[in-house]
Amino acid sequence: MFKANRFFRRDCGIEMSRRRQRQHLGDLSSHLLRDIGMTIRVSDRHWRDR
């Protein structure tokens, strides 16, 4: 019982860390996409001004 509980807790921790990593990656990609979109918008405005 105790051994199974310990294994279960370890699996839960692994799953939680994986989920957290995936969420972190999602946040990073969204930030990168937003930055890319901003730079494209700025360069577009720059080209229009010229």
What is the chain's alpha carbon radius of gyration, rounded to the nearest angstrom? 22
pTM here is 0.43
Percentage above 90 pLDDT, the chain: 0
- Phi/psi for 22 (5° steps) reads -60, -45
Tens of pLDDT, residue by residue over 10-28, are 777 778 788 888 888 888 8
CA separation for the pair 13, 46 (Å, rounded):
49
Q: Report the alpha-carbon distance of residue 22 to residue 19 in Å, rounded.
A: 5
C-alpha dist (Å) from residue 19 to 16, 23, 27: 5, 6, 12
